[in-house]
Amino acid sequence: MAFSARLPFAARPGQEVVVGLSSRAVLKAAGLAYMLPLLILVLSAATASALGLHDLWVAAIGGLGLLAGLALAGRLARRLTVPALSVLGPAPDDEACPR
């Protein structure tokens, strides 16, 4: 993967670096990708069930809720502008960072 970034140290072109990802960005992305669609699925199925609909309709409406939640999560993910990646330093020459 290649991207450009401001480096907090001097680096040569092609030099490998360690890139970090903030825990806040990971939690926000996980909540958006997993929790939002499931929440909409449960709410839509619970609403259909509370209205006294047949189980087949409850399942169908829950499935549509899941699709709507996935679509909403995709749209929100494109608008997510958290600077998540940061360069931490040069890659060490050990087995933890194979080249």
pLDDT digits (tens, 9 = 90+) for 8-45: 777 777 777 777 777 787 888 888 889 999 999 999 99
Q: Are 91 and 9 in contact (CB under 8 A)?
A: no
CB neighbourhood size of 32 (10 A): 16
pTM over 0.75: no
Q: Give the lowest-confidence range in 52-56, 72-76, 80-84.
A: 80-84
Q: Which residues pair with 90 in a beta bridge?
A: 17
